[in-house]
Amino acid sequence: MTKSISPAPEFIIPPLPMNILTIREYLPHRYPFLLVDRVTEVTEKGIVGYKNVSINEEFLQGHFPTYPIMPGVLIIEALAQVSGIFSFILVNETPKDGSIFLFAGAEKIRFKKQVVAGDQLVLKSELVMQKRGIYKYHRTASVDGIVAVTAEIMISYQNMMSQNLIHPTAIIDPSANIADDVHIGPYSIIGSHVTIGAGTKLHSHVVVGGFTRIGENNEIFQFASVGEVCQDLKYSGEETWLEIGDNNKIREHCTLHRGTVQDQGLTKIGSNNLFMVNTHIAHDCMIGDHNIFANNVGVAGHVHVGNHVIVGGNAGIHQFCRIDSYSLIGGAALILKDVPAYVIVSGNPAQAHGMNIEGMRRKGWSKETIQGLREAYKLIYKSGLTTVQAIEQIRAEILHKTPEAQLLIQSLEQSTRGIVR
């Protein structure tokens, strides 16, 4: 079961002006490193704050004793702090909620005027870019209307409640809703509107593109890409989703794409599935539970896969096909039509080769059940009857003693492309 996504934070301007007591609620810094004394303006574009430079500042005691000048690096820090306040306002959080903004970089720094004891620094910060937890600001510090410093500074959003589980190089969008015990490895990227449930682990270099709900106790290995926009040429940026259930293993280089508005706007993965290396699940697919996709399987758009299906390595499945429960697809098979429940298919193009008897035995099914399904298979594939005639005979002669045959009947009745024969 996946969790519902939290809506994007509402932009709420706190009461102005913000005095030092309010500022301390938005910044974790304390004396002697709290460098913002007052905030007077906040808009959706930026913020204006002040730093009063007193002769009593600790940094002026040594920089320099005979000519006290505020170090340029501390002016940059003051600009970063006022931007941090604005960033917390944007995400509607405070440091006590377990989140923090860290200095991520600075460029185009220009020092144009000395700042000395007695000066009042006006700190202006304008948001110019926000992407996947990185905020970039154009900042200006001035004294008496004269610009002292200009810079472009980047800060990074971090959730410190789970900092020991989230690698510091991971980039996480503030809108993401991540359970406290989720592991996120180095250089992973979590996009906007992502939910990740408890117990899930992302190895290094995993990308969750956005608009994705991931359930509990999943494991996603390095270089996998899930929730990215689809490759359908008709897609033009609409909001569509990927949902992943619980207890799935998604191995290296797998790609799972979001849906399209031409279908239901949703790609859905069930629970307890194994996606081996380089498996591709395209847009609008519906994947059930307890399935195994071996290496290099390609599943085209709008495909429906039932439960307990095994797909051999390098197999390809054409768009809009149905692969029903307990079926088995051989390695390198090309699936152009629907695969009924319980049936083994292989080849290019695929052909039917009997029932998945070994799979039934491993699940502990009785000899009577297996024999009943064998008889149903013969009526469909070897009796010369039409599909309609075979269904009627299965209902009349087999279904009452082998209820599992109902799943096979449904496969035939729901097929729109015809079945693999």
Contacts of 386 (CB under 8 A, 6+ apart): none
User: Which of 323, 296, 320, 319 minimizes the C-alpha distance to 310?
Assistant: 323
Quick check: is 246 catalytic? no
DSSP-derived pairing of the beta strands 38-42 and 46-52 = antiparallel
* Cβ–Cβ under 8 Å, residues 99 and 91: yes
Choosing from 119, 232, 246, 284, the catalytic residue is 284
Question: CB 338: neighbour CB atoms within 10 A?
Answer: 24
* Whole-number Å distance between alpha carbons of 256 and 224: 8
Choosing from 84, 227, 301, 306, the catalytic residue is 301
* Whole-number Å distance between alpha carbons of 310 and 292: 5
Specify the 3-state DSSP secondary structure of 306. Answer: coil
* Whole-number Å distance between alpha carbons of 180 and 5: 15
* Cβ–Cβ under 8 Å, residues 179 and 198: yes
* Whole-number Å distance between alpha carbons of 132 and 99: 15
Specify the 3-state DSSP secondary structure of 43. Answer: coil
Residue 264 amino acid letter:
Q
Q: HSE, CB side, 13 Å, CA atoms: give it for residue 250.
A: 33
Contacts of 131 (CB under 8 A, 6+ apart): none
Choosing from 283, 302, 308, 318, the catalytic residue is 283
Quick check: is 193 catalytic? no
> Which letter, b or e, does each residue of 78-102 get, where b requires 16 or more Cβ atoms within 10 Å of its Cβ?
bbbbbbbbbbbbbbebbbeeebbbe
* Cβ–Cβ under 8 Å, residues 342 and 326: yes
Quick check: is 263 catalytic? no
Specify the 3-state DSSP secondary structure of 379. Answer: helix
Catalytic machinery residues: 283-284, 301
